[in-house]
Amino acid sequence: MSLSSNPATPRTRSPRALVPEPRIAGCVFVHVPRTAGSSIWQSMARLADVHQIPVFDIYRESNVRYGIPEASDRVLEESVEPLATTRFFFHHHTAENIFRHFKPGESVFATVLRDPVDRFVSDVYHYRRFIRSTEPDSPFAVHTARFWSARFTNCLRRDDVDPRELLDLGAAEDFFRNYYVNFLRRCAGARRVPEESRTFPEGTDRVICSTCPGKCDIDFRSLVISRTSSRPSQASSRHSDFPRPRNSSS
């Protein structure tokens, strides 16, 4: 039952009052899919271990406890007592809003960005491999049907589709458009603010947490962002032969 339909709950209660004070402090690696994040996270976790910094893999805990990756917020709510006692190094790999749990002045959020077209091509081929390993009525197929067109999904399963046609279809899907901005915005449970408040380079938006407005103001200038080189490297060479979409503006 929702709060608004519960007669015992005052309708005038402020949403802000329902949000607890953030109690966790530490460094959070925000792992954006298809950006070599797994290799980076594993290297950073080993380094944290060398320096005796405790590590908490939110993504893994979500899968272990609930069998799905999208339970990060619930995992942190359940673990807040032990996590609040010391500073951890965290791994976050979904677009769930977890920032509300972290003390803004005492936490660092880091991520790595890849060339957006290279990331898009890698993502399409990754989903192509994955969806072919599932049945059409699998939970994954049902889930992706909510935001992918049937034509694109069918082409992912077929062998006779020209790669460039597949990428052109993918480029037309809203799911892949402005991927970085949308992923990080969802991470913060954020909404846009007026144009005059945007002060970031390369069109990055300042965002405000919609879960606790005025209390958990996430400023993306606090993100430690590095950009992987668009030049060929050993890490990206396995995708160097992938055709790029005809219109790479997505």
Neighbours of 83 (CB within 10 A): 22
- 192, two tokens: 């846009």
Would you say residue 6 has pLDDT above 80?
A: no
pLDDT band at 139 (very low <50, low <70, confident <90, very high): confident
Q: Rounded CA gap, 186 and 195, in Å? A: 19
Non-local CB neighbours of 8 within 8 Å, separated by 6+ positions: none
Q: Rounded CA gap, 4 and 91, in Å? A: 35
**Helix/strand/coil for 209:** strand
The whole-number average pLDDT for the span 227-237 is: 35
pLDDT band at 219 (very low <50, low <70, confident <90, very high): very low
Which residue matches tokens 């059409």?
136
* Contact of 232 with 240, CB cutoff 8 Å: yes
Mean pLDDT of the chain: 74
46-100 per-position pLDDT tens digit: 999 999 999 999 999 998 998 888 899 999 999 999 999 999 999 999 998 898 8
Q: Please report the pLDDT score of residue 69 as a whole number.
A: 84
Higher-confidence position of 249 and 31: 31
Strand pairing partners for 220? none
pTM of the predicted structure, to 2 decimals: 0.67
CATH number corresponding to 23-113+193-227? 3.40.50
162-192 per-position pLDDT tens digit: 999 999 999 999 999 899 988 988 887 764 4
* Contact of 170 with 176, CB cutoff 8 Å: yes
Neighbours of 56 (CB within 10 A): 19
Non-local CB neighbours of 74 within 8 Å, separated by 6+ positions: 62, 66
The whole-number average pLDDT for the span 29-52 is: 94
Residues of the chain with CATH 3.40.50: 23-113+193-227
Would you say residue 194 has pLDDT above 90?
A: no
107-138 per-position pLDDT tens digit: 999 999 999 999 999 999 999 998 998 888 88
Would you say residue 15 has pLDDT above 80?
A: no
Instruction: Work out the percent of the chain whose per-residue pLDDT is above 70.
Output: 68
Q: Please report the pLDDT score of residue 211 as a whole number.
A: 34
| Sheet-wide strand order for 108-113 | 55-57, 88-92, 26-30, 108-113, 223-227
